[in-house]
Amino acid sequence: MLLIATWSYYPLLKGAVMAFQEYRIVGAAGWAGLDNFIRVATDPGFWKAWGRTLEYVAIVLALGFTAPVVLAVLLTEIPRGKIFFRTVYFLPHLTSALVVTLLWKLMFDPTEGGMLNQLLAAFGVGRHAWLQDPAWAMTCCILPGVWAGMGMGSLIYVAALGSLPPDYYEAAAIDGAGVFARFRHVTFPQLAPLMVINFVGAFIAAFQGMGSIFLLTFGGPGDATNVLSLAIWKEAYNNLRFATATTMAWFLGTALIGFAYLQIRFLRRVEFRRAGA
Angstrom distance (rounded) from CA 94 to CA 18: 38
Angstrom distance (rounded) from CA 47 to CA 138: 17
Question: What is the structure's pLDDT at 272?
Answer: 55
pLDDT digits (tens, 9 = 90+) for 145-156: 999 888 888 888
Instruction: Give the CA-trace dihedral at 222, 224, 229, 234, to 10 degrees.
Output: 0
- Is the preceding peptide bond at 11 cis, omega within 30 degrees of 0? no
Question: What is the structure's pLDDT at 43?
Answer: 93
Cβ-Cβ contacts under 8 Å for 142 (sequence gap 6 or more): 56, 59, 60, 63, 64, 212
Q: What is the DSSP string of 175-194?
A: TT--HHHHIIIIIHHHHHHH
Question: What is the structure's pLDDT at 132?
Answer: 92
Q: To which CATH superfamily is domain 44-267 assigned?
A: MetI-like (1.10.3720.10)
Q: What are the sequence ranges of the domains in the chain?
A: 1-33, 44-267
Question: What is the structure's pLDDT at 277?
Answer: 44
Q: Are 172 and 182 in contact (CB under 8 A)?
A: yes
Question: What is the structure's pLDDT at 233?
Answer: 94
Question: What is the structure's pLDDT at 273?
Answer: 55
Low-confidence ranges of the chain (pLDDT < 70): 269-277
Question: What is the structure's pLDDT at 270?
Answer: 61
Angstrom distance (rounded) from CA 24 to CA 30: 9
**Which of 277, 245, 267 minimizes the C-alpha distance to 15?**
245
